[in-house]
A and B are shown apart, each in its own frame.
Chain A
Amino acid sequence: MNKNYNFAFLDEGSKREIRRAALKAVAIPGYQVPFGSRELPIGRGWGTGGIQLTLSLIGPDDMLKVIDQGSDESVNAVNIKKFVGLCTDIETTTDTRKATIIQTRHRIPEIPLTNEQILILQVPIPEPLRVVEAREEVTKKMHAEKDYAPMWLQLYESLVKYKRVTIASEYPCMVEGRYMMNPSPIPKFDNPKLHKAECLYLFGAGREKKIYAVPPYTEVVSLAFDDIPFEKESFTGKICRLCGSADTYLDEVFDAQTGERVYQCSDTSYCQEVRSRAAR
């Protein structure tokens, strides 16, 4: 820990301000709370919203896990852990079950999280309506009036044109039937994990200066029409080449030696757990 900086880098006043924004976000599920996002020594757009939440929430007894694309070893995850380590003495882990705070980019871990855990998601564009309306001034009004028609229309147009909803990741959902929310660029595969979960989900967008939350047991429903159900990514007939799982989100990998296309779990900690269970 570098003694030149305050514990968890930010000054105490800034941390308190961020916690207050997070509390407000918990009180109004799915609503984007504006906050005075601080500049960090890590690129703005590289997870600074998530890091600010982590820094303001973390205490000496916490156990931190950081993942990127489901992996603990990704350069970005390693870099964030290194930064947190520079300004705290927090222990880190790769074990999803042991962590009290998990910061993640683009994935929700495969195993369900508990009421003792907080999952912090990094968000590039918090506004779900940005794809249909470029202006913040307008989207703010749309949320206030619960005017989500342009988004539904986009879904419908996609159906007409391609016979299916073609939104890939960042699939919008309704929170407690009130606010439309961008679940961050997680795959559709992870959207159902937000629904009535035991853990607290916090979303931080540093560059866009917004914090929002899905508190435990909140209803989160991915947008879908009555006759066209919500559809996740499918990996039919494919299994993880390392652990054999057939029910996880898979990364497509080209084997450099054979040129073959193979698949493996994107959640590396889960994959490891399945393998060590099998070895026992």
Chain B
Amino acid sequence: MAYVAVSGGKEAIEESIRLLDFYKSGSDKDVDVEAIENKMSLLVDRVMGEAGLYAKSYAALALKQCEGSVDEAVFLLRAYRSTLTRNYYTNAVNTDEMRMVRRISAAFKDIAGGQILGATYDYTHRLIDFDADGKQASVQARQDLIAAQTPEPVADCPRVSDELKREGLIDRCSRDGRPPCDVTVNMLEFPAGRSARLQTLARADTGFISGLAYSSLRGFGQVHPTVGELRCGYAELCIPYPPDESESIYIGEILITEVECFHEADDKDRLKLAVGYGAVFGRNENKAIAMAIIDNELEHGGPHPAQDEEFVLMHGDSLEMNGFISHLKLPHYVTFQSKLDAVRKTRKAKDE
């Protein structure tokens, strides 16, 4: 007899949580939340992105609470997010003005504003550094790195796509002035607007959309796009100033990665370039690129999984996929009994 037929579910849960606390405690050394926040920043970025909540210290706290599980941390942040009242909506951010820390283009060597390689693992050799363990994080080394930096003045950077738009190779879309759809307070309906699509993709599970984008590159889609521009930097957020809405107040900045990728597209009897857009919290470059690819695949449409709007948008939410998969562990005695009944009846009819 399993746990539903007997009473005592309450005690079982309490004991399970006690054991979990033991697993979580792991060793006698504690992990500092500040260290998670600053030394595991890519993990924190991923969690914030999938949770749709930009809060580094809470993301770090959540990660500490759940043994570093990405989906559990996303879960914690999302549940917390439900309890918060929304006081303001920020003005739309113009990312031309962002304070760039990295900017590359795979389409052109020379771009207005210049390329900035910035910090990337792309050109590191992935060799385990056996000295990293046990080495004391040297405060001095960090201070030296900071001292060696020379501040650069911040300049606005036009987009690579601006030039191509001027040339007429990329369509210009006029502003339609409609407020963006918010999928966190409205059910996603189909066909989905582009704002709903982009918001859903930005919050999607990194692994899910990376896999889908990969399928499109390998032939289940339009194949090989070009990363026109990838930029990573700090974007300023402002809200309308309550007494006078024409004014705005600065409330802080967020680190984002933004990508535009180009595909060839039909333009009656000629060709043009289509643009896919991706933007995510923090430094999560592959997700931003994957998002840009999927955005364009969905715009294009077609027979492949990555081009199917409902398929892509309904199955990439970390909380939803993990919630439904894990529910399979709940007892299904009643429905299984019903299935058994149906199966037995068809066999009995055969035997007669």
Contacts and interface: CB of A to CB of B under 8 A. Distances in A.
Contacts of B326: 43, 45-46
A48 B322 CA distance: 13
A26 B197 CA distance: 31
A48 B317 CA distance: 15
Contact of A73 (B7, B188, B189, B339): B7
Given A35-B187, A75-B13, A163-B349, A43 B338 contact: no
Nearest to A165: B342
A234 interface: yes
A249 B337 CA distance: 10
A155 to B, nearest CB: 13
Given A10-B82, A40-B82, A207-B320, A169 B327 contact: no
Given A75-B3, A162-B346, A168-B342, A43 B323 contact: yes
Contacts of B85: 11, 13
B335 interface: yes
A36 B184 contact: yes
Contact of B5 (A71, A105, A135): A71
A169 B335 CA distance: 6
A14 B346 CA distance: 47
Interface in B46-79: 75-76, 78-79
A41 B76 CA distance: 7
Contact of A266 (B9, B184, B332, B333): B333
A163 B346 contact: yes
Contacts of A210: 187
B327 A34 contact: no
B5 to A, nearest CB: 6
Contacts of B137: none
B10 interface: yes
Given A45-B326, A266-B334, A74 B4 contact: yes
Given A73-B9, A187-B337, 6 more contacts: A39-B82, A71-B4, A73-B10, A163-B346, A164-B346, A209-B188
Interface string A161-174: 01110111110000
A19 interface: no
Closest 8 CB pairs of A and B: A44-B323, A45-B324, A45-B323, A34-B187, A36-B185, A45-B327, A39-B78, A78-B9
A168 B349 CA distance: 16
Contacts of B1: 253, 256
Contact of B9 (A75, A188, A250): A75
A168 B333 contact: no
A99 B76 CA distance: 31
Interface string A240-280: 00000000011111001000000010100000000000000
B81 interface: yes
B310 A251 contact: no
Contact of B340 (A13, A48, A252): A252
Range of interface residues on B (Cβ < 8 Å):
35 or more
A256 to B, nearest CB: 7
14 contacts: A13-B85, A34-B186, A36-B185, A36-B187, A39-B78, A39-B82, A45-B326, A45-B327, A46-B326, A69-B332, A73-B4, A76-B331, A136-B310, A233-B342
B341 A233 contact: yes
A1 B87 CA distance: 26
B330 A76 contact: yes
Contact of A107 (B9, B83, B334): B334
Interface of B: 1, 3-10, 12-13, 75-76, 78-79, 81-85, 184-191, 310, 314, 319-320, 322-327, 330-335, 337-343, 345-346, 349
Contacts of A136: 189-190, 310, 314
A37 B189 CA distance: 13
Contacts of A10: 82-83
Contact of B4 (A68, A82, A188, A256): A68
A169 B346 contact: no
A74 B331 contact: yes
A234 B344 CA distance: 11
B190 to A, nearest CB: 4
A233 B343 CA distance: 11
Contacts of B327: 43, 45-46, 124
Contact of A46 (B12, B185, B330, B333): B330
Contacts of A166: 342-343, 345-346
B8 A207 contact: no
A187 B334 CA distance: 7
B185 A164 contact: no
B341 A168 contact: yes
Nearest to B11: A78
B10 A78 contact: yes
B310 A6 contact: no
Contacts of B335: 106, 168-170, 185, 187
A168 B341 CA distance: 8
A253 B333 CA distance: 10
Contacts of B186: 34, 36
